[in-house]
């Protein structure tokens, strides 16, 4: 009897632990997007990025978790981990110029033989 209670406890604990640590469908469907923006007059870039993301994600905490990088010099914008639906909603936000999936380019060669 005692052994069956222990086995039942271990099985239940394993189930609840696996459910609590498994990523949600929304998180597992997310990928990195580059968001190009045009700041309103006098806006602070990092605050504008967080506020724009929070408007789509529902909270400032969610925006802080999704935000990956602030672009300041070569482009005006930020990188964030978003689902395709969130990226589409972000495109409709004021000041957002474009939202594109991030692409990583890999070099074909391993050496500098061209030089």
Hey, what domains does the chain have and what are their CATH numbers?
25-101 (3.30.70.80)
> pLDDT for 48-99, tens place per residue?
999 999 999 999 999 999 999 999 888 899 999 999 999 999 999 999 999 9
Instruction: Report the predicted TM-score, pTM, of the whole model to 2 decimal places.
Output: 0.69
For the chain, the average pLDDT equals 81
Q: Which residues contact 35 (CB under 8 A, 6 or more apart)?
A: 49, 52, 77, 78, 79, 80, 90, 96, 98, 99
């Amino acid at each position: 009897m005692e052994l069956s209670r222990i086995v039942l406890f271990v099985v239940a604990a394993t189930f609840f632990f696996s459910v609590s640590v498994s990523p949600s469908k929304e998180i597992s469907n997310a990928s990195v997007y580059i968001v190009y923006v045009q700041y309103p007059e006098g806006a602070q870039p990092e605050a504008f990025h967080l506020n724009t993301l929070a408007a789509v994600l529902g909270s400032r905490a969610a925006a802080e978790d999704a935000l990956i990088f602030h672009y300041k010099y070569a482009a005006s914008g930020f990188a964030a981990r978003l689902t395709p639906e969130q990226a589409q909603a972000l495109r409709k936000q004021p000041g957002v110029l474009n939202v594109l999936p991030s692409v990583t380019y890999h070099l074909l060669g391993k050496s500098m033989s061209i030089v």
